Amino acid sequence: MLVLVAVLPLAIFAFTYWINSVSAARKVQAGLLRSAENALRLSHEVERALTMAKDLGQVNVWPSQERLPDGSERTLYETYVTPALKTKLEEIEPGDPMLHSAVLLDARGSVIASFGEQREISRYGDVQAMPHDTPYTLVYRIRQAARDAGRPVVAIAFPTHAGDDIAGTLVVGVSFSAINRQIRAEINENNRRALSISLVGSVALAALGWYLLRLNDRARALQSALEREQHLAHVGTLSAGLAHEIRNPLSSVKMNVQMIRDRLEKLAIDDKESLLRKADRVEHEVARLEDSISDFLIFAAPRPLAKKLADINAAVDSVIELIRQSEKGVEIAKLLDPDIPPVAVDESMFAECLQNLLINAMQAAGEGGKVEVETALEKNAVSIAISDSGPGVPEAEREKIFEVFYTTKKGGTGLGLNIARRIVEDHGGSISVDASPSLGGARFVVRMPIE
| Number of separate domains in the chain | 2
> Is the model's pLDDT at 94 over the cut of 90?
no
User: Which residue, of 167, 186, 205, is where some domain finishes?
Assistant: 186
Same domain, 168 and 21: yes
- Answer with the residue of higher pLDDT: 6 or 407: 407
DSSP for residue 396: G
- For residue 125, which of 182, 43, 189 has the smallest C-alpha distance? 43
Residue 178's pLDDT band (cuts 50, 70, 90): low
Task: Single out the residue in 136, 161, 186 at which a domain terminates.
Answer: 186
Among 160, 186, 212, where does a domain finish? 186
Alpha carbon 57 to chain centroid distance?
57
pLDDT at 86: 77
pLDDT band for position 183 (cuts 50, 70, 90)? low
Strands 59-67, 308-310: pairing kind: unpaired
Q: How far apart are the first and last CA of the chain?
A: 57
Please state, as a whole number, how many other Cβ atoms lie within 10 Å of the Cβ of residue 438.
14
Alpha-carbon distances, residue 190 vs 32, 40, 120, 183, 187 (angstroms): 21, 31, 33, 10, 5
> Is 369 part of a structural domain of the chain?
yes
Contact 300, 419 (CB under 8 A): no
Rounded Cα gap, residues 357 and 415, in angstroms: 12
Specify the CATH number for the domain of residue 379.
3.30.565.10
Any domain includes 278: no
101-155 pLDDT, tens digit each: 788 888 777 788 887 665 666 666 788 888 888 888 888 887 787 777 666 778 8
Residue 236 within any structural domain of the chain: no
pLDDT-derived band at 274, boundaries 50, 70, 90? confident
Give DSSP secondary structure letters for 400-427: GGGSTT---STT--S-HHHHHHHHHHHT
Encode pLDDT of 149-172 as tens digits: 666 778 888 888 888 878 888 888
Q: What is the rounded average pLDDT of the residues 257-261?
A: 77
Q: Which of 347, 443, 342, 434 is nearest to 397 (CA)?
A: 434
* pLDDT tens profile 307-316: 899 999 999 9
Give a yes or no: residue 354 inside a domain.
yes
pLDDT at 371: 92
- Cβ 336 vs Cβ 311: under 8 Å: no
Residue 20, pLDDT > 80, answer: no
Distance CA 73, CA 343 (A): 98
Least confidently predicted of 218-227, 353-362, 364-373:
218-227
The dihedral sign for the CA sequence 363, 367, 369, 373: positive
User: Would you say residue 364 lies in a domain?
Assistant: yes
Q: What is the pTM of this model?
A: 0.42
CB contact burial 239-267 (16+ within 10 A = b; e otherwise): ebeebeeeeeeeeebbeebeebbeebeee
| Domain annotation covers residue 317 | yes
Band the pLDDT of 95: cuts 50, 70, 90.
low
> How much of the chain, in percent, has pLDDT values that exceed 90?
11
- Looking at the predicted structure, is the pLDDT value of residue 297 above 60? no
Judge whether 222 lies within some domain: no
Q: Is residue 342 part of a domain?
A: yes
Q: Across 13-17, 241-245, 412-416, 428-432, which has the greatest mean pLDDT?
A: 428-432
pLDDT of residue 336: 92
Does 181 share its domain with 313? no
Contact 405, 350 (CB under 8 A): no
pLDDT value, residue 372: 93
- The domain in which residue 434 lies consists of 303-449
Beta carbons of 42 and 94 less than 8 angstroms apart? yes
Amino acid letter for position 367: E
- If you average pLDDT over every residue of the chain, what do you get? 77
Whole-number pLDDT of residue 341: 92
For the stretch 208-256, pLDDT in tens is 778 888 888 888 888 877 777 666 555 555 555 555 556 556 667 777 7
pLDDT higher than 90, residue 294: no
Q: What is the pLDDT of residue 123?
A: 64
Q: Quote the CA–CA distance of 101 and 265 in Å, as a whole number.
A: 118
pLDDT at 383: 93
